[in-house]
Structure 1
Amino acid sequence: MTTSKFSRYTASRIFWFLFGCGLGSMGLWSGMRQNLIGETFIGVGLLLLGIQGLLRPVVLSRAGKMSKEEMTREVSIGSDVLHGALSLAMAASLLVGFVLKYVVKI
């Protein structure tokens, strides 16, 4: 994994990392403290969002000017398989968490 791309869009990377990890850690801590499985899953999903945002940040100022493939190649750290696995794990964790929290209520 190359670290030279970390210097590109550093503010966006830090924002998404702190956003995901901040909300995720609060959700994870709250879920474990109150023994709520749904809240714990949501916290894990948000932690994965923070990691995804660090490795492949969303840069809104450049999104309209470049194609998605060109933007992804320019700022992404890690392989497409890694990002696909992170995205699937994040989506599954959030979906299961929301269902458990709001539908099943556990």
Structure 2
Amino acid sequence: MTTSKFSRYTGSRIFWFLFGLGLGGLGLWSGLRQGLVGETLIGLGLVLVGVQGLLRPVVLTRAGKIGKEEMMRDVSVGSEVLHGMLSLAMAGLLIAGFVLKYVIKM
């Protein structure tokens, strides 16, 4: 894993990491404290959003100037498989959490 890419877009990386960690941590804590499975899964999914944002930040300023693939190679830390697995886990946890919280009321 190339860590020299962390020095690029540091502000965006920190923002998304703190955003995911903050909201996810609050959801995780609240879900565990109240025994709500849905809230806990949503919290875990948001923590993964923060990790994904740290490894592959959302950079809006350069999105129109260069191709998406080139930009992702330029700023991403980690393999495509890692990012794919993080995305699947994140989506699965968030969808399951929302279904359990709002549809099944757990």
- TM-score, normalisation: structure 2: 0.99
1:17-55 CA-to-partner distances (Å, cap 9, x unmatched) read: 000010000000000000000000000000000000000
Give per-residue Cα distances to partners, 1:40-88, cap 9 Å, x unaligned.
0000000000000000000011111111100000000000000000000
1:23 lines up with 2:23 in the alignment: yes
CA–CA distance in 2 between the matches of 1:85 and 1:46? 15
- Deviation of residue 10 (structure 1)? 0.2
Equivalent position of 2:4 in the other structure: 4
1:40 maps to: 40
Give structure 1 regions of 4+ aligned residues with deviation exceeding 4 angstroms.
none
- Work out the CA distance in 1 between the residues paired with 2:88 and 2:64: 25
**RMSD of aligned Cα (Å):** 0.4
> Using the alignment, how far apart are the partners of 2:64 and 2:38 within structure 1?
36
Q: Work out the CA distance in 1 between the residues paired with 2:96 and 2:102.
A: 10
**2:100 pairs with 1:61:** no
Q: How many residues are treated as equivalent by the alignment?
A: 106
Q: 1:77 — aligned with what? A: 77
- State how far apart, in whole Å, the 2-side matches of 1:46 and 1:66 are: 28
Gap runs ≥5 in structure 2: none
User: Following TM superposition, by how much is the alpha carbon of 1:11 offset from its aligned partner in structure 2, in angstroms?
Assistant: 0.2
Distance 1:75 1:23 in 2: 24
- 1:96 and 1:26 map into 2 onto residues whose CA distance is 18
Paired-residue identity, %: 75
What is the one-letter code of the residue matched to 2:103? V
Partner of 1:98 in structure 2? 98
